Chain A
Amino acid sequence: DVKVTQSSRYLVKRTGEKVFLECVQDMDHENMFWYRQDPGLGLRLIYFSYDVKMKEKGDIPEGYSVSREKKERFSLILESASTNQTSMYLCASSLLGQGFDQPQHFGDGTRLSIL
């Protein structure tokens, strides 16, 4: 089974801090994604990457950056955390392309609180 592991289940940080969220997948997937999930808003794509060192902005990239130095690891960076970034963050991975054989596999999320 595909496993997507997010390094922390819960994280509490202070405003202005630089925050790193880490995600590792074990299935050699080309694509990796970062979403945030908020009640009533569903899943919104922050950034995605289709190859090492490659990244593209999603729908809500403001205030975030990403890093993908190795194929299996995708990091989300909050450059200067703000309270409106308090949320559940979900990482996902998939094989290149999209279709029945290439679903996105999600981690169990990191609940981030910014105080």
Chain B
Amino acid sequence: QQQVKQSPQSLIVQKGGIPIINCAYENTAFDYFPWYQQFPGKGPALLIAIRPDVSEKKEGRFTISFNKSAKQFSLHIMDSQPGDSATYFCAASSTLGGSNYKLTFGKGTLLTVNP
């Protein structure tokens, strides 16, 4: 079964710190890697996404780093704020073939940013 392994399961940082969440995948056909953010009581929402033809993508304080040879990607949150406290999910899919809309999710990381 296709898997995306996410770590750590939970993470606590102080305001201004740089939390890093890591994901690893096995299926070399994956070519789309989004991160979703979920606040309590809400559904997940797309935060940022990357394709493997680039090694890094930044959107505001959020950065994805991608290492194709290692089959790993990670999310960095610069200058983290208490409002970033949420559960973060990495995901992956293959845009080739008929099932190009199926996402495989990691198990999630609960991030707490203390004031």
**Chain A residues at the B interface, C-beta cutoff of 8 Å:** 4, 31, 40-45, 48, 50, 56, 58-59, 90, 92, 94, 96-100, 102-109
Interface pair B43/A106, CB less than 8 Å apart: yes
CB of B18 within 8 Å of the partner chain: no
Interface pair B45/A106, CB less than 8 Å apart: yes
By a CB distance below 8 angstroms, the chain A residues around B41 are 108
Interface segment, one of B65-73, B74-82, B94-102:
B94-102
Given A98-B95, A99-B32, does the pair A107, B43 have CB atoms closer than 8 Å?
yes
Closest Cβ of chain A: how far from B41's Cβ, in Å?
A: 7
By a CB distance below 8 angstroms, the chain B residues around A31 are 101
By a CB distance below 8 angstroms, the chain A residues around B1 are 59
CA distance A109 to B108 in the complex (A): 16
Identify whether the interface residues of B are mostly helix, strand, loop, or mixed: loop
Interface pair A90/B106, CB less than 8 Å apart: no
- For B76-115 the 0/1 string (1 means CB < 8 A from A) is 0000000000000100010100011111011110000000
Interface pair A92/B107, CB less than 8 Å apart: no
By a CB distance below 8 angstroms, the chain B residues around A92 are 43
A103 partner, pick from B9, B34, B51, B99, beta carbons under 8 A: B34
Residue of A nearest to B2 (CB): A59
Closest Cβ of chain B: how far from A43's Cβ, in Å?
A: 4
Interface pair A97/B101, CB less than 8 Å apart: yes
Interface pair A43/B101, CB less than 8 Å apart: no
Ordered by A's residue number, 13 sampled pairs between the chains whose C-beta atoms are within 8 Å are A31-B101, A40-B107, A43-B44, A43-B89, A44-B105, A98-B93, A98-B101, A99-B95, A102-B101, A106-B36, A106-B43, A107-B43, A109-B43
